[in-house]
Structure 1
Amino acid sequence: MVEFDLIDDPTTPSLPSEVWEGSLAWPMTLTMQAEFQRFYDCVVQGNRRANLTRILEPMDFWEKHLWDSLRGVLPFLSGEVPLPDSPRLVDIGTGGGFPGIPLAIARPDWSLTLLDSTQKKVRFLQAAIAHLQLSQVQAIAGRAETLGALRPYRGGYDVALLRAVAAPSVCLGYARSWLKPGGWAVLYRGQWRDEEQEDLQQGLQGFELVTIDAFVTPQTQATRHSVMLRRLSSG
């Protein structure tokens, strides 16, 4: 078993905290920024033992992992799209903990389940969760289509997050069994092409497409999309 003994490492480069201001239409406290730095420390350390991410340069990590994780669900963060009190979210195919851990830091009142099929990544996530004292977060290993059919996971979640996991129709197949009726599936995508739209339409059974939110990243000016869908009460 690979153990991850994570520490607060003062030698890890600092994230560019000043770039938060004005880059996201949602308040970012100094406490949150400090916790993002601690999570960055964890990822830098964990990456030496597990292939978590190739994006480790501080500005790139900030934009492509932290900022992107939050921006993808900005309608929930801002309250534009309301969620129940203390909502339950599942991050399917979380990898190194994105977007789940950044969201847990930003919204400690949200309960998050981080799911990945790779045991080594899940062991890292469990160590990071303990180090960051994120009591509302759990990390589990398994396949989405298998665990989603079991209690306590089946039909128990308000939001399913899928970031760069698979084709849109496959993502909806993964998310379907986890969500409550009326729950949300959020697909984090880069470009949104015609073939992805066609694939999505083929996999919409049990969902309605609510919006495709296109936005541009603040540093590299890259186009990203957040595709938001609602789970129907039947289907």
Structure 2
Amino acid sequence: MREAISQGLAELGLTPPVGGAEALAEYGRLLLEQNQVMNLTAITDPCQVARLHFLDSAALLGVADFRCKRVIDVGTGAGFPGLPLRILEPSIRLTLLDSLGKRVTWLEQVCAALGTEDVACLHARAEEQSLLPEFRDSYDFAVSRAVASLSLLCELCLPYVKVGGQFLAMKAVDSGEELSQAMDGIRLLGGQVLPAYDYRIPGTQVVHRVIPIEKCAPTPKGYPRRWAKIQKAPL
């Protein structure tokens, strides 16, 4: 796994910090070990974990400058893409947010094992947490690799982003129609779509897309709505 990580990072043009590749490999070992008792990933081959989770996450470092930035990973699941970003750019001030308590507990254990105790692992619902003043309109970047429509993700993620910051949505390359359907909601929430960034995951033929959405104005009061309303009537 370590070799696949090192080769892939070099192909992405990234130089990891000292011990970064080793930390990612240990993260992968812990992930596959815990996956035997908890549903964290459908990918169980170590090299594929390295490529389809870690290198896919690392590709975000080619999209924007994360140095010393405040970042929230909404619906982080097993920690992607947030924790690989923090391992590769240690100056990131990271919050990992997930609605499933046992995943958050496991992420706290992983962070302790990797020496990243300053990462905030938060058990909360995204649409509720962003209503709190210390979270709303306050992050440089929100990131998400969650499997949900862009309309839903924007309502969950843009409220966290401060004016001048960005929501980086990790999507498939065939997401053009999804983006078109989300445009009105993006404008309503204070966002503006920037040019997409396509990349091939090293060691694979898989091409993914990052859709950067810049926050141009504070998110209006009343958003995000309750989850049932978000699902029933996407913006």
TM-score by length of 1: 0.85
**1:71-123 CA deviation, whole Å, 9 max, x = no partner?**
034132xx4xxx5x621100001000001110110011101100111111111
Q: 1:188 is paired with a residue of what secondary structure?
A: strand
Structure 1 unaligned blocks of 5 or more:
1-12
Larger mean Cα displacement after TM superposition, 15-24 or 44-53? 15-24
| 1:63 corresponds to | 51
| 2:172 corresponds to | 190
| 1:203 corresponds to | 185
Question: Would the aligned equivalents of 2:70 and 2:93 in 1 still touch at CA under 8 Å?
Answer: yes
Question: Would the aligned equivalents of 1:32 and 1:105 in 2 still touch at CA under 8 Å?
Answer: yes
Query: Within the alignment, does 1:40 sit opposite 2:28 as a pair?
Result: yes
| 1:90 corresponds to | 72
**1:33-75 CA deviation, whole Å, 9 max, x = no partner?**
1111111121112212221101121221111101000103413
Which residue identity is paired with 1:110? I
Runs of 4+ in 1 over 4 A off after TM superposition: none
| 1:220 corresponds to | 204
- Indicate the structure with greater helix content: 2
Partners of 2:82 and 2:132 in 1: CA distance: 21
Question: Would the aligned equivalents of 1:116 and 1:122 in 2 still touch at CA under 8 Å?
Answer: yes
Question: Would the aligned equivalents of 1:90 and 1:160 in 2 still touch at CA under 8 Å?
Answer: yes
Which residue identity is paired with 2:36? R
* Partner of residue 164 from structure 1, selected from 140, 146, 160: 146
Partners of 1:67 and 1:189 in 2: CA distance: 15
Question: Would the aligned equivalents of 1:15 and 1:58 in 2 still touch at CA under 8 Å?
Answer: no
Q: 1:208 is paired with a residue of what secondary structure?
A: strand
Partners of 1:222 and 1:149 in 2: CA distance: 36
Q: 1:177 is paired with a residue of what secondary structure?
A: helix
**How far 1:191 sits from its partner (Å)?**
2.8
* Partner of residue 51 from structure 1, selected from 39, 57, 73: 39
Taking structure 1 as reference, are residues 153 and 234 closer, same or farther at Cα in structure 2, changes over 3 Å only? closer
| 1:6 corresponds to | none
Q: 1:189 is paired with a residue of what secondary structure?
A: strand
Taking structure 1 as reference, are residues 53 and 219 closer, same or farther at Cα in structure 2, changes over 3 Å only? same
For 1:115-130, list aligned pairs within 5 A. Answer: 115-130=97-112
Partners of 1:75 and 1:89 in 2: CA distance: 14
**How many residues are treated as equivalent by the alignment?**
217
| 1:135 corresponds to | 117
Question: Would the aligned equivalents of 1:209 and 1:229 in 2 still touch at CA under 8 Å?
Answer: yes
Query: Within the alignment, does 1:229 sit opposite 2:213 as a pair?
Result: yes
Which residue identity is paired with 1:137? V
Which residue identity is paired with 1:157? Y
| 1:74 corresponds to | 62
**1:140-179 CA deviation, whole Å, 9 max, x = no partner?**
1111110010132122211000113311111110112211
Larger mean Cα displacement after TM superposition, 147-156 or 118-127? 147-156
Taking structure 1 as reference, are residues 21 and 135 closer, same or farther at Cα in structure 2, changes over 3 Å only? closer
**How far 1:26 sits from its partner (Å)?**
1.6
CA-based RMSD: 1.8
Question: Would the aligned equivalents of 1:212 and 1:228 in 2 still touch at CA under 8 Å?
Answer: yes
Question: Would the aligned equivalents of 1:15 and 1:62 in 2 still touch at CA under 8 Å?
Answer: no
